[in-house]
Amino acid sequence: PKQFKATLFPGDGIGPEISEAVVKILHAAKCPIEWETHIIDVRSKKPGEMLVSREALDSVLRNGWGLKGPMETPIGKGHRSLNLTLRKELALYANVRPCLSFPGVKTLYENVDVVTVRENTEGEYSGLEHVVSPGIVKSLKVITRDASMRINEFAFKYARNNGRKKVTVVHKATVMKKSDGLFLKCSREVAKNYPDIEFEELLIDNASSFLVSNPSRMDVMVMPNLYGDIISDLCAGLIGGLGLTPSCNIGENCVLAEAVHGTAPDISGKNLANPTALLFSAIMMLREMGLREQASSIESSVFRVLSEGKIRTGDLGGKSSTTEYTQAI
């Protein structure tokens, strides 16, 4: 059987605890993965310095797989966001965020099952900004045909491979006729090659309204970078927040799964954190590796533990420790 090597960035705050939990669970499920741990020491960096070392990046590129705990970019020190640096340097062009209602986790919504596929490299995230004169700033939103075709291809392929029925492109081409217009045009082009997948176009404002009033209307959604940032967090809110929702970045040469919640310094080191978001991110990585059996068996264990409702962490109203929850899974 194939052996995998994967880079592990444990992260800050609760990062090390939940990473340890995830590694243990994957080990128990007999995932043939050897971990190469890299500590990204954000605090020791000089102002403006690159937060991620060359070694760390090379490790992911060499292994092809990475798992990243929560980390926060220090504010006001001129650092480029750590997340954005990783996405850029590793050419992670697709960000996939599935939101599936958890059994036993009560929210206002039942049976949410949507996936945000977010273009991860351009749009308002170009980083190109310009002070024209004092008090007048221009930011560039960049949309290219290459990146738009690539993400749309990805979304439709993802839909087909995962038994999904519909892809909705979310845009605002009525206002940004040229930039979002180009993205939309690419969606339409790609959709033609997937007659088995229903195709729908929705304005970003309408999509936000529908997701709130009737999320089961949605399936896979594909969209430019900034919309993806907003919509994926909206969807996370539907099923109980960022503490539960996984995220996986896909590139040409590597995959980086990540927890997108914060480092929760208030509970860090206290064995109280919930590793579910990071665990489900890891499960996404397992599926990309082709380890579908292990992925499903871990997933069903989590569902069982959560629906039994006896063992759950504090964020879900329970009293269990991270290790108790991990053990139960």
Ligand X SMILES: CC(C)[C@H](C(=O)O)[C@@H](O)C(=O)O
**Nearer residue to ligand X within complex by CB, 259 or 272:** 259
Q: Does 14 bind ligand X (CB under 6 A)?
A: no
* Contacting ligand X within 155-184 (CB under 6 A): 174-175
- Which positions touch its own copies (CB under 8 A)? 73, 75, 81, 84, 107-109, 124-125, 129-131, 134-146, 172, 174-182, 204-206, 208-213, 226, 229-234, 236-238, 240-242
Of 197 and 254, the one with the shorter C-beta distance to ligand X is: 254
Q: Provide the minimum distance between the beta carbon of 170 and its own copies in the complex, in angstroms, as a whole number.
A: 10
| Min dist. Cβ of residue 189 to its own copies (A) | 12
- Taking the least distance from each CB to its own copies, the nearer of 7 and 249 is 249
The residue written with tokens 């006001």 in the block is: 76
81 touches 98 (CB < 8 A): no
Site for ligand X contains 84 (CB under 6 A): yes
Residue 220 β-bridge partners = 115, 167
Q: Is 205 in the site for ligand X (CB under 6 A)?
A: yes
* Count of residues engaged in binding ligand X, rule: CB under 6 A: 8
Q: Is there binding between residue 229 and ligand X (CB under 6 A)? A: yes
Cβ pair 263, 71 in contact under 8 A: yes
253 binds, among ligand X, its own copies, none (CB under 5 to 8 A by kind): none
Q: Is 299 in the site for ligand X (CB under 6 A)?
A: no
CB-based contact 99:114 (threshold 8 Å): yes
User: Which range touches ligand X (CB under 6 A), out of 29-37, 79-87, 304-312, 316-324?
Assistant: 79-87
Rounded Cα gap, residues 214 and 207, in angstroms? 10
Long-range contacts at 208-211 (CB < 8 A, ≥ 24 apart): 208/234, 211/114, 211/235, 211/238
The side-by-side arrangement of strands in the sheet containing 166-171 is: 33-37, 4-9, 65-68, 255-259, 246-251, 92-100, 113-119, 220-223, 166-171, 198-203
Taking the least distance from each CB to ligand X, the nearer of 113 and 233 is 233
Q: Is the distance from CB of 56 to CB of 85 less than 8 angstroms?
A: no
Tell me which of its own copies, ligand X, none is bound by residue 318, counting a contact when its beta carbon lies within the kind-specific cut-off of 5 to 8 angstroms. Answer: none
Q: What is the largest CA-CA distance in the chain?
A: 62
Residues in 252-281 at the binding interface with ligand X, rule: CB under 6 A: 260
Q: HSE-up of 221 (CA within 13 Å, CB side)?
A: 32
Choose, by CB under 6 A, the member of 53, 81, 85, 297 that binds ligand X: 81
Interface region with ligand X, contact rule CB under 6 A, candidates 42-50, 80-88, 152-160, 301-309: 80-88
| Only segment of 62-70, 78-86, 159-167, 271-279 that touches ligand X (CB under 6 A) | 78-86
77-114 in b/e burial notation, b at 16+ Cβ within 10 A?
A: eebeebbebbbebbebbbbbbbbbbbeebeeebeebeb
Distant-in-sequence, close-in-space partners of 285: CB < 8 Å, separation ≥ 6:
6, 65, 67, 248, 255, 257
Residues that bind ligand X (CB under 6 A): 81, 83-84, 174-175, 205, 229, 260
